[in-house]
Chains A and B, each alone.
Chain A
Amino acid sequence: EAQVTQNPRYLITVTGKKLTVTCSQNMNHEYMSWYRQDPGLGLRQIYYSMNVEVTDKGDVPEGYKVSRKEKRNFPLILESPSPNQTSLYFCASSANANSPLHFGNGTRLTVT
């Protein structure tokens, strides 16, 4: 089944403790992206990747890192999480930057 898989679904952590949210897609998609969703603000793009080893900042990249060493994986790294990064995070992929997105089921992160 074609899908985007994020892990974990839920994560509670403390300020400053490094964490990684994994994202994997099995559709051989070139384009991958991370979004955060906050009430009233909609989905905001954090980082995106047009292909392997090609990443770029979205609208809200501060406090986040990404890597794209393999086509299928696009992990999101929070080196020193802060409470303002408490949010619902979605990974998405598409065949290319012009194609519709396939989303994962989200990771709800709480930073205390």
Chain B
Amino acid sequence: SQKIEQNSEALNIQEGKTATLTCNYTNYSPAYLQWYRQDPGRGPVFLLLIRENEKEKRKERLKVTFDTTLKQSLFHITASQPADSATYLCALQDSSYKLIFGSGTRLLVRP
């Protein structure tokens, strides 16, 4: 069956370091992959979208990679700040437009 996996354990890093979050998928051929940020008590907020024919996308301190051979996306936050602490969700969309979300990884950035 189709599956999206994000590390359920929180990622705890020091301010200034690069945070790297992983999204793995199986039995799925996504046309797009999206990353969202979710703060407690709030709805997810869109961050980045990457297409299957793109290897990398950047936006300010954020970088997303998409490896369709490994069936994996990596989400990087460089020079992390305590304000980056949140839960990050990946979501895959196939050609039928259906968007499937992972359960998210919580990031904690220590000052």
Query: Which A residues have a C-beta under 8 Å from some C-beta of B?
Result: 4, 35, 40-45, 90, 92, 97-98, 100-106
Residue ID in chain A nearest B47 by CB atoms: A100
Residue ID in chain B nearest A92 by CB atoms: B43
A43 to chain B, nearest CB (A): 4
**What total of chain B residues lie within 8 Å of the partner, measured CB to CB?**
22
A43–B98 CA distance with the chains assembled, in angstroms: 13
Complex interface bits, B80-111 against A, C-beta within 8 A gives 1, otherwise 0: 00000000010101000111011110000000
Complex interface bits, B26-62 against A, C-beta within 8 A gives 1, otherwise 0: 0000001010100001111110010000000000000
Complex interface bits, B1-18 against A, C-beta within 8 A gives 1, otherwise 0: 000100010000000000
State whether A98 touches B97 (Cβ < 8 A): yes
Residue ID in chain A nearest B93 by CB atoms: A98
State whether B49 touches A103 (Cβ < 8 A): no
Residue ID in chain A nearest B32 by CB atoms: A98
List, in ascending order, chain B residues with CB within 8 A of A45's CB.
98-99
A105–B41 CA distance with the chains assembled, in angstroms: 7
A9 to chain B, nearest CB (A): 9
Ordered by A's residue number, 24 sampled pairs between the chains whose C-beta atoms are within 8 Å are A4-B43, A35-B101, A40-B8, A41-B103, A42-B103, A43-B91, A43-B101, A44-B101, A45-B98, A45-B99, A90-B43, A90-B44, A92-B43, A97-B97, A98-B32, A98-B93, A98-B97, A100-B34, A100-B49, A102-B46, A103-B43, A103-B44, A105-B43, A106-B42
Checking B32, B42, B89, B93 against A105 with a beta-carbon cut-off of 8 angstroms, the contacting residue is B42
A100–B45 CA distance with the chains assembled, in angstroms: 9
State whether B44 touches A43 (Cβ < 8 A): yes
State whether A101 touches B46 (Cβ < 8 A): yes
Residue ID in chain B nearest A44 by CB atoms: B101
Residue ID in chain B nearest A38 by CB atoms: B103
List, in ascending order, chain B residues with CB within 8 A of A104's CB.
43
List, in ascending order, chain A residues with CB within 8 A of B42's CB.
105-106
Residue ID in chain B nearest A97 by CB atoms: B97
State whether A42 touches B102 (Cβ < 8 A): yes
